[in-house]
Amino acid sequence: MQDKMMDAFNAQTRQMFEPMRKINSLMLNNMEKMTQYQLEAMKRYSQMGTERLRNATDIQDAESLRDFGTQQAAMMNELSQQMQEDARVMSEMSLEFKAEMEKLFGEAGKQMADQASAAAKGEQPSAKGEQPAKASSQSSRKS
């Protein structure tokens, strides 16, 4: 009798922690994906900045300064477009994460509702016929 109760307890515990495990896994995967993207973006921005510094060191006269200024304007436009693209991608990742979280919470809520209704159905028979068995198994555990 105690083995059955322990097996039921273990099964309920696994069911209880399964949604949390899925949520933790989803959060970890999302964090990894976002971090990887941000590292790649930082690398791109660093390369752009380093390239601009190298070009600045090549300035030797007024004409090269004018060319550098023209290139600087084009680079700022490119940087602006890249930042917009990065913001769009990060937003898409966030929306995807939100949708997956909502799906998991919906599944967890449905599972909890199913378990609650199953427990409510299971409690009715035990209140009538199985109550003495529970009392005797609990008292046998104490001794």
Contact (CB, 8 A) for 33 and 100: no
Q: Would residue 17 count as lying in a domain? A: yes
Q: Which domain holds residue 68?
A: 1-118
Contact (CB, 8 A) for 21 and 106: no
Q: Would residue 139 count as lying in a domain? A: no
Q: Would residue 82 count as lying in a domain? A: yes
Q: Would residue 39 count as lying in a domain? A: yes
Q: Would residue 92 count as lying in a domain? A: yes
Q: Would residue 127 count as lying in a domain? A: no
Q: Render pLDDT for 77-92 as a digit per residue (tens, 0 to 9).
A: 999 999 999 999 999 9
Taking residues 11-29, report their average pLDDT. 85
What total number of domains does the chain contain?
A: 1
Kindly report the pTM of this predicted structure. 0.66
Q: Render pLDDT for 100-136 as a digit per residue (tens, 0 to 9).
A: 999 988 888 888 788 778 778 875 444 444 444 444 4
Closest CA to 67 of 50, 78, 55: 55
pLDDT of residue 88: 97
Identity at 68, one-letter amino acid code: F
Q: Would residue 128 count as lying in a domain? A: no
Q: Would residue 136 count as lying in a domain? A: no
Any idea what the Cα angle at residue 113 is, between residues 119 and 16, rounded to 5°? 75
Rounded distance between C-alpha atoms, residue 68 and residue 81, angstroms: 20
